Amino acid sequence: MDKQLRYFSLPNVLTLLNLVAGSTAIFYAFEHPGKLTYAAILIFVAVFFDFIDGFVARLLNRQSKIGKQLDSLADLVSFGIAPAAVIFLMLKAALEVKAFSIDLPYVQVLILLSPIVLIIAAALRLAKFNVDSRQTHHFLGMPVPVSAIFFASLPLVNAFDPDNLLILKTWLDVNMPFDFILAVIGVQVYLLTNFWFYVVSIFVFAVLQLIEIPMFSFKLENYSFMQNSGKYIFLILAVLLFVFIQCFIIPIIIILYILFSAGIDIVNHFLKEKV
């Protein structure tokens, strides 16, 4: 059999594990809408397999045409449909709707259907990526897994226990301001129970996936700190923030990714003009 058409190479098996994790996240979310943190964790597992399958394919030089298509199909499920399912259920909770029905007020129907926009954006983004030869070492538009990480983190933020920050204070002997603890609780109580926050986020992240904003990739051409300083600084900052503030900081890290990408693009553009 042509190696380009082989189903079960190691990278393809890892891609299928991405698909399994994303599919399980969808099943679990609808069966246990009160425990969306587990569905969110499964989406993060899918992100891990999505990263590792490409790494293994490059390491073993086993990249294939079928692998590229399979990867996009798995990503549509894990990073398009699964996050949309999670947000659909969070919207139901925010609107205090027990069951979706066309008999609901039309505004509620439209709000509950808004996560479909994420699926459409993911499908368009992945289809374009497959045929766009420009996106080798950077992305044009937000990668679908990044959008999925943002939405998958919301149930984790919603369930985050602010007392964990107090434990961290004792462990590291770091002073966590009381005002910050109150801010954490405020975000959980207000922002993540406000359906408009979800609706606005859905459309913002859909647009970010579709417009051609340069965003950096972690596929490094070399390991030089000077040539990859922005990426290294982002990684160090993201790790430190996660250690100190834990899963509560994940949405902020995604926003930082967008800002760092814009900054790196501006710097690169300036350097090219200078040359």
Query: What is the reported pLDDT for 177?
Result: 61
Nearest to 140 by CA among 228, 68, 215, 221: 215
Q: Is the pTM of this model over 0.75?
A: yes
Torsion of CA 76, 79, 85, 86, to 10 degrees: 180
Among the residue ranges 17-21, 43-47, 185-189, the one predicted with the least confidence is 185-189
Q: How many other C-beta atoms can be found within 10 angstroms of the C-beta atom of residue 238?
A: 18
Q: What mean pLDDT, rounded, does the chain reach?
A: 83
- Give residue 175's pLDDT band: very low, low, confident or very high (50, 70, 90): low
Query: What is the reported pLDDT for 220?
Result: 61
Has residue 269 got a pLDDT over 70? no
CA distance 151 to 75: 15
**Is residue 168 within a helix (H) or strand (E), and if so which, with residue range?**
helix 163-172
Nearest to 139 by CA among 231, 60, 21: 231
CA distance 88 to 250: 20
Among the residue ranges 15-19, 20-24, 41-45, 216-220, the one predicted with the least confidence is 216-220
Nearest to 247 by CA among 206, 189, 193, 187: 187
Has residue 206 got a pLDDT over 90? yes
CB-based contacts of 45, cutoff 8 Å, min separation 6:
21
Query: What is the reported pLDDT for 162?
Result: 72
Which is higher by pLDDT, 184 or 95? 95
CB-based contacts of 230, cutoff 8 Å, min separation 6:
216, 260, 263, 264, 267
Are residues 123 and 80 in contact, defined by beta-carbon separation less than 8 angstroms?
yes
For residue 2, give the DSSP letter.
-
> What is the percent of the chain where pLDDT is above 90?
39
Among the residue ranges 107-111, 132-136, 269-273, the one predicted with the least confidence is 269-273
